[in-house]
Chains A and B, each alone.
Chain A
Amino acid sequence: MSDDVLPDDDQAVQDTLAGDPEAFGVLVERYQDRLFNTLVRVLGSREDALDVVQDAFVQAFVKLDSFRGAARFSTWLYRIAMNLALSHRRRRRPVASVDETKTQVGEEPMDSQPSPERGMIERERVEVVQAALLKLGAEHRQILVLREMEGCSYETMGKILQLPVGTVRSRLFRARLQLKAELQAMLPDEVERS
């Protein structure tokens, strides 16, 4: 089914509020993969990401009446998810080592790998980057993922994370410096590339 025949977010929200049981499913299908990917990078665990993405949708459903539409539904949904991710991390032991990351993230086969060796190198690289991400504080990790993997503008990140744009800018800058330092320790050749 193409997006042309599916309701847009506002319509799906209205339909859900009107009692259409399938309408919310449209929103779930629309955002589940993208939100899952973001949460995998934030949480460092597919299992945790599955838990949190479902919890985020459920909470969004329960609180749907409080969504007034001033922001986009996706912004509101991501705000819920980021808050849940922060809570979730407090309960889980952080996955910091590369070995642990291997078993939790990046298990999906890479696309179009020219050779098994190169594929393995790429997978290792992904694992190292993910491990470096997990060494960051949760707030730094969130802002980096939202910027680099979601392509969020500073304004949107401000709405999701409930921060002024100035704080978004400074936090993102510090997050980059920190990640650079972490990667430099793990992948010195990557960071020095100019």
Chain B
Amino acid sequence: MADTQANDAFDDELLSAYVDGELSGDQAAQVEQRLSVDPKAKQLVEEMRALSDTLQAMPCETANKDLREAVLQRTVTLPREGRATRGVRRWGWAAMALAAGLLLMVFQPTEERDGQPLASVDASRKEAAEPAPEWQASMAADAEVDEEMLENEATFAKTVLPESSAAAVDMAEAAPTVPVVPIQEVHLVLAGGVAEFDKLLVSNGLVRVDRMQRKAAAQVGRARSLRMENRQLAAAMESKRKAAVVGEVLAEGTAEQMRNMLFAYQTDQRLYGEVSDDDREGGSVVGGARKLEAMERIQVLFILHPAQQTAKPAAASKKARSREKVGGKEG
């Protein structure tokens, strides 16, 4: 019974393909034979043809405006991911793979198995030389920037990215990226939800990088310069007490966009919660010791902490380390 129903469904698909002229000669002959003896099949074909006629009769919508100038105006300021960048990126990924392999080799716990010490060492070396498949697949995909990347990224974004943030999914699908500079890390106190933070990224033109690339970044090692957006948080970090984390977001954009986003973040109490004037700092800190060009693309890993779980304010501290700037020296 199930087989019969399955066969019927399959056969009806052929009817649809027959309407479209997408069958081979043998298949078309098979369908025509069926149409000659099956009035229901014939009716279905006629209905599908009528449906096609209806849709094809829809008027053609035109924009009634020249999009050319609008598009060209937007593209004139955008950097294309050119061949030079791709070459540097390939080399960059290769270097990161090597570094990751070395890191894994260094930190791989040594195990001796009876009668097979060499095998375990070899296994660990092999494991170290081969990063986690997921990361490796990501790197391999990024190293070959071609149409396949575009094909895979939309599927990947749908299946891997968290569903909680539609904006993040949208941005990841719309503008997938690869890192162009080492990752910077910024700790933020978040009074609002992660979804609100996502909106802040989106509204400032930043792109949320997919989870796979975040893992790659984490394994390679982040730049150690940290920016503490809240003195309470800074105190907690300094006292080695781990502040709770509600989320990690790897975002990419230009330095200008990052500055604007951080400024908006600091001035929006819904996100930042109560802040003192001392904690407010304009968007000018991105860059640090090395001045970043406004359009220079950077990636920042935002570690988000809930406002209510940060440590109580430490006694007035003038430790400069808590106010290191993004892009500054490694600490």
Contact = CB atoms under 8 A, between A and B. Distances in A.
Contacts of A65: 80-83, 86, 145
A66 interface: yes
Contact of B50 (A126, A162, A190): A190
Contacts of B151: 79, 162
B54 A190 contact: yes
B147 interface: yes
Interface string B246-280: 00000000000000000000000000000000000
A66 B62 contact: no
Interface centre among B60, B86, B149, B151 (most CB of A within 10 A): B60
Contacts of B78: 58, 61-62
B51 A180 contact: yes
B174 A87 contact: yes
Interface residues of A, number: 69
A180 B51 CA distance: 7
B12 A183 contact: no
A173 B55 contact: no
Interface string A146-189: 01110001100000001000000110110010011001000000
Interface residues of B, number: 56
B72 A64 contact: no
A148 B20 CA distance: 9
Contacts of B16: 169, 172-173, 176
B51 A63 contact: no
Interface in A14-60: 17, 21, 24-25, 28-29, 32-33, 36-37, 40-41, 46, 49-50, 53-55, 57-59
A87 B72 contact: no
Contacts of A33: 60, 62-63
B303 interface: no
A149 B55 contact: yes
Is the contact region of chain A dominated by helix, strand, or loop, or is it mixed? helix
B52 interface: yes
Contacts of B66: 29, 32
A74 interface: no
A37 to B, nearest CB: 5
A84 interface: yes
A90 B166 contact: yes
A152 to B, nearest CB: 10
Contacts, number: 171
A83 interface: yes
A28 B76 CA distance: 14
A21 B62 contact: no
A54 B68 CA distance: 9
A105 B71 CA distance: 23
B173 A83 contact: yes
B175 A62 contact: yes
Interface in A125-148: 126, 129-130, 144-145, 147-148
A91 B154 contact: no
B239 interface: no
A1 interface: no
B47 A63 contact: no
A173 B150 CA distance: 27
B146 A108 contact: no
A66 B81 contact: yes
Nearest to B83: A65
Given A79-B150, A154-B17, 11 more contacts: A24-B71, A25-B71, A50-B65, A55-B174, A76-B147, A91-B166, A108-B64, A162-B154, A169-B13, A191-B47, A194-B50
The 9 closest A-B pairs by CB, nearest first: A148-B55, A173-B16, A87-B170, A40-B61, A194-B46, A83-B154, A61-B75, A57-B71, A28-B68
